[in-house]
A and B are shown apart, each in its own frame.
Chain A
């Protein structure tokens, strides 16, 4: 079981309010991703849940039990750190067994659990090596192994993939998702990478300056962002946000249109000059200097023979445009 409830949780370091007050409910078995730009307080929030930081106010409950003042070890949570935080002088086996040893489990049971975790994570042939002899991905798996043997109420991941190269990141992302399918344990995952958030999460919590901007499933956030911040943060490449006269025409302060929701055709209402075209094969991303709108990103499917200096006309797809008021909030 791993239901976590935060009630007006606050955290300040001296004069600085890092988290001015957060209410959040995480259901049992959910994969929740905290996402936001660096310095938005997402790691602090995770450390508050872990108990590595003391909350300045509010309360944290785990499975309905008040946990605000419990030490980390008593919260039945396991954490995977950004640097993995493996114990360098211990073998992989001892690293994974460490929490069990600290819990006073018998050597026999420890061995059984370690072997089981090693099998799940494909670490069996590395059990007698030191962390220093492993690759980044293997270290990551050892850190996860050390977390799963404790059978925690929830797993906490603090940007676990940021030290891996791009290819490994994609495969570890899948492994963690599969692990969640197998274990069905609550997972809280912190990242600044919105792609990780979109691909892994059941529920995304978008944070900005210590505040929750929006909570929802990846597709909810994609389809109907609550404000311009979420609109600009979720989706890759970023949503085009257009101010000024064009927005006023639609009765809004700002209008937003995603690159994939713009079609290039000769009778389109907008016109611009291509300043950059990125050919990925499957897609072509065009940076277009559009008259009266600023620089927009346009996605064209497949290979498009447009290059720097070409002039194109294009149009937003009907019904895909989003409107935001002067406070940045989405208009109905």
Chain B
């Protein structure tokens, strides 16, 4: 198969899709880089020309910038920890033979089908709302003061909502990994005198590590760009308390209508994503090898 001519033919055949994908990627990136060095304000279209690094400088000098970066990382980290810990526990639970296993599993998966703004609205208005929310009713029921989630704990509320959305994904991947563990290994460990906790720690967890790596990598990609949930609930507030990098870019592009600054923010986001990806692959990439 792999003769000289067939390899050349293969390259030729693959070339069109590679070229299309490359253009698909490089044109938006190049345009964003281009705009990030331009003065490009929709409210004053007559002012044009090169901005140099001023668009970038504005971000780094903005009082919200480092808060937004840390909020972004907090959101990613928080959701990852919650979804993986709870995901492993739920996967262990629904892996047990119980009556109604099929419907139960579909129920567990279903939050993933709810659109992000809808999920956020449901959580904000039906659960977290200080007057109408379920949690408020529960708090009043036990004679406590309802918690003002969106005002007092905006980042925690956003993390809670996003975790709820992504928990099914983690559970699903971890459940399938759990089902591929041979029961003889667990029985061997049982015969070897390992308690349930030790069986989990020495047999189940090492078996799950590759699936956990996959969940971390995939979720990180999506979580770095979380926007809809913040837009629907806290609007980045109160003040800038729950502003993340994507939300900050949105504010520059749509509210301030400064395309140049928004483009600079976009490039910063790309660099941040690459830094995160580099450290993730360095720390976890080895688990992806067979």
Contact = CB atoms under 8 A, between A and B. Distances in A.
Interface string B273-290: 000000000000000001
Contact of B188 (A51, A77, A85, A132): A85
A73 B193 contact: yes
Given A98-B202, A102-B198, A87 B185 contact: yes
B50 to A, nearest CB: 56
A73 B192 contact: yes
Interface residues of B, number: 19
Interface string A87-104: 111100000001100110
Contacts of A85: 182, 184-185, 187-188
A52 B184 CA distance: 10
Contacts of A78: 191
Contacts of A86: 185, 188
Contacts of A82: 184
B187 A52 contact: yes
A72 B185 contact: no
A50 B290 CA distance: 33
Contacts of B194: 73, 98, 102
Interface residues of A, number: 25
A269 B203 CA distance: 66
Contacts of A169: none
* B contact patch SS: helix
Interface in A55-90: 71-73, 77-79, 81-83, 85-90
A146 interface: yes
A150 interface: yes
B217 interface: no
Interface in A248-289: none
Nearest to B199: A102
A98 B182 contact: no
Nearest to B290: A132
A102 B206 contact: no
B184 A83 contact: yes
Contacts of A51: 191
A89 B188 contact: no
B208 to A, nearest CB: 11
A78 to B, nearest CB: 7
Nearest to A104: B193
B190 A72 contact: yes
A88 B287 CA distance: 13
A49 to B, nearest CB: 11
Interface string B37-62: 00000000000000000000000000
Nearest to B186: A85
B189 interface: yes
B184 A102 contact: no
A297 B198 CA distance: 56
A161 B206 CA distance: 28
Contact of A79 (B182, B185, B191, B209): B191
B203 A87 contact: yes
5 contacts: A50-B191, A52-B187, A52-B190, A89-B207, A98-B192
Given A72-B187, A90-B202, A150-B193, 8 more contacts: A79-B188, A79-B191, A85-B184, A87-B189, A98-B192, A98-B194, A98-B202, A103-B193
Kindly list the 7 A-B residue pairs having the minimum CB-CB distance in the complex, ordered from nearest.
Answer: A85-B188, A99-B192, A85-B184, A73-B193, A89-B206, A102-B193, A81-B184
Interface of B: 182, 184-185, 187-195, 198, 202-203, 206-207, 209, 290
